[in-house]
Amino acid sequence: MLQFFAQHSKLIDEIGINALLALSLSLSLRAGSLALAQAAFMGLAAYVGSIGAVRFGWNLLEATLAGALAAAAVAAILALPIGRLRGVFLAIATIGFGEIARIAEINAPITGGAEGFSNIPNDAGTVAIYAALVATGIALGLFGRSKSALALAATREDESAARGVGIDVAAVRLRTLVAGAIVAGVAGVLYAHANFFITPGDFGFPRMEQILVSCVIGGVTSSLGAVLGATLMTVLPEAVRFLHDYREVSTGAILLGFILFAPGGIAGLWQRRA
Amino acid sequence: MILQQCANGIFLGAVYALFAIGYTLVFGVLDILNLAHAAIFMAAAFIALWLAGTGVTLPLAILAAIAFAGLLGVLLDRVAFAPLRRRNAGTLVPLISSIGAAIIIQGVFRGLFGPDERAFPAGALAARQFHLGTLTVGALDLVILATALGLMLGLSYVLRSTALGRNIRAVADDRVAAALLGIDLERTIALTFFIASALGGAAGILIGLQYNSVSTDMGGRIELKGLAIIVLGGMGSVTGAVIGAFILGLVETLAVAWVGSSYRDAIAFGVMFVLLVVRPSGLLGKRALRAA
């Protein structure tokens, strides 16, 4: 057992981080908005946390707090201009924001540019990652029982009706974006400290696609589903190594299979049986 | 110097335009964002490269690869979009299924051709250059520009003056009304995908020739720029996409001369972001599209 963990500790850490990212996006998806800025929030926090740790000697907790705070602040500012966008247009605008963030990371004088930023203290172990995941899970669980979760669901199902019963739709969207950014920020700092080396390319559109795929496969409205989806998406590429260069095909096929035949994702399969 | 940059911008813009037209055509007709468009762009370039490698003459290889791209687009619609259409799944689910399709196409081509960059066989490309005063223009660039402009004019003719074009415009305008008038929706949509993907494939082949480099991640580099172009032109507007593409091509090449290359790519996305917030209908979009 212990040997299993020792052999696969890197993969286990990766699952935890990807699960955090999927949870972060599922918040926005639950409010019905396809805001695809998670990878950008993640990258921003990763750079803030890493630069702080290397330049000012922050410990992991300080770096995580600073990174999450920075991501939250940027999300709050981003929420203003994109507040009125919906659907595909929101998706495109946030993808654009992500690209601007990535290009800024390449060109800013303190990030190490496209070659990456290294020597980040390697102090985010499995315990820290899973502590963050459990804490996020508990917070989301508590939130799921609250009135705000209903406001979120109402906003997703019918925005005008939600407005009609007195839900402040703009505030709901702002809060989910900021909360999602905090979770993505935590994941970003943990990612940086677990890998001790980051490049702007780690936080580009492919990363965003990976997060989205995890969420959709898991089932967009379920926390457990998001975690399971992220787990599947992290383990799958390792499990199909025998396919060599054809490996990616399995990811795409599973995504397409779920969308066409089980639109509720893993969580949907399980709820249908229950 | 400026003249040379402008010429380069026009060559770049022509290929951007071919790519963006396919993107915007599918959006105009179906209101969906087809993120597998860039994968087809890449696939066509590889097919042309492979055919040229087996000894097929270049023009024939290009034509065959364009046809392949069109058929791949029809297949894409059948597999990833048509089932969702029947289910009335809205506009966001197809976006995600197109990502799935893109990953599959990308995976297949990475499996077939490997992850490395490839070049066209030696001798397949004309290396001649023309000098007009201070301006240097490659023969290949001119062929690329002529091909791109020819395809665009052809599309414009099809859309304006043929029964198919009329059907495509009708379906884009109002799908329900078009069906009521007896237009075969599925056939029109399939042909739209054929045209859009053939043009996207042509763009991939031409870019592959221009840089003499084809790789499985070449699609990723143009995918998001294509988005910026169709937002700039007005989502769904073909003329808008062409204008947007030439603007972006010119701005990018001039930006290298004036502000350096480091923030070149940020221009496209900055413009796209601001436009979406301020004027989501773009330069030529007719509808108010905020709540699509």
Average pLDDT over residues A125-142: 91
From residue B1, give the alpha-carbon distance in Å to each of A104, A269, B5, B131, B211: 28, 62, 6, 13, 21
Among the ranges A12-26, A149-163, B117-131, which has the highest mean pLDDT value? A12-26
Confidence class of residue A272 from pLDDT cuts 50, 70 and 90?
low
d(CA A230, CA A210): 9
Confidence class of residue A271 from pLDDT cuts 50, 70 and 90?
low
**Could you say which DSSP state residue B31 is in?**
S
Nearest chain B Cα distance for residue A252, angstroms: 4
Residues of A in contact with B269 (CB under 8 A): 96-97, 99-100, 103
**Touching check for A34 and chain B: CB below 8 Å?**
yes
**Could you say which DSSP state residue B115 is in?**
S
pLDDT of residue B226: 92
CA atoms in the 13 A half-sphere facing the CB of B182: 1
Give the start-to-end residue ranges of the domains of chain A: 2-203
List the structure tokens of A46.
Answer: 């990763």
pLDDT at B235 over 90: no
List the structure tokens of B47.
Answer: 């097919």
Q: Which of A245, A250, A254 to substitute to test the interface with B, most B CBs within 10 Å?
A: A245
Q: Which of B265, B276, B289 to substitute to test the interface with A, most A CBs within 10 Å?
A: B276
Element (DSSP H or E) covering residue B137:
strand B135-138
Residues of B in contact with A92 (CB under 8 A): 33, 227, 231, 272, 276
Average pLDDT over residues B128-157: 85
pLDDT of residue B259: 74
- Beta-carbon separation of A93 and B114 below 8 A: no
d(CA B41, CA B43): 6
- Beta-carbon separation of A255 and B96 below 8 A: yes
pLDDT of residue B290: 33
pLDDT at A62 over 80: yes
Nearest chain B Cα distance for residue A91, angstroms: 9
Residue of A nearest to B95 (CA): A88
d(CA A185, CA A162): 29
pLDDT at B90 over 80: no
pLDDT of residue B124: 65
Nearest chain A Cα distance for residue B178, angstroms: 24
User: Residue for token digits 């602040």?
Assistant: A73
- Which one of A89, A103, A259 has the shortest CB-CB distance to B292? A89
d(CA B191, CA B245): 24
d(CA B100, CA B113): 20
Residues A207-223: pLDDT tens digits? 999 999 999 898 877 88
d(CA B161, CA B183): 16
Residues of A in contact with B265 (CB under 8 A): 99, 103
List the structure tokens of A137.
Answer: 């899970």
pLDDT at B37 over 50: yes
Query: Which residue, among B276, B218, B217, B247, has the nearest Cα to B33 in the 3D structure?
Result: B276
Neighbours of A5 (CB within 10 A): 10
Amino acid at the residue B66: I
Mean pLDDT, chain A, whole residue set: 89
pLDDT of residue A34: 87
d(CA B277, CA A92): 11
- Which one of B80, B223, B266 has the shortest CB-CB distance to A100? B266
Percent of chain A clearing pLDDT 70 (strictly above): 97
d(CA B172, CA B4): 39
Among the ranges A51-65, A135-149, B135-149, which has the highest mean pLDDT value? A51-65
- Beta-carbon separation of B269 and A206 below 8 A: no
Nearest chain A Cα distance for residue B40, angstroms: 15
Residue of A nearest to B268 (CA): A96
Average pLDDT over residues A145-170: 84
Q: How many residues does chain B have?
A: 292
Residues of B in contact with A247 (CB under 8 A): 107
Q: What is the DSSP string of A77-116?
A: HHHHHHTT--HHHHHHHHHHHHHHHHHHHHHSTTS-GGG-
More confident residue, B118 or B292: B118
Q: Which of B78, B104, B267 to substitute to test the interface with A, most A CBs within 10 Å?
A: B104
Confidence class of residue B289 from pLDDT cuts 50, 70 and 90?
very low
Nearest chain B Cα distance for residue A39, angstroms: 15
Q: Which of A33, A92, A215 to substitute to test the interface with B, most B CBs within 10 Å?
A: A92
Kindly report the CATH class assigned to B2-278.
Answer: mainly alpha
Average pLDDT over residues A111-136: 89
Neighbours of B270 (CB within 10 A): 17
- Beta-carbon separation of B99 and A209 below 8 A: yes
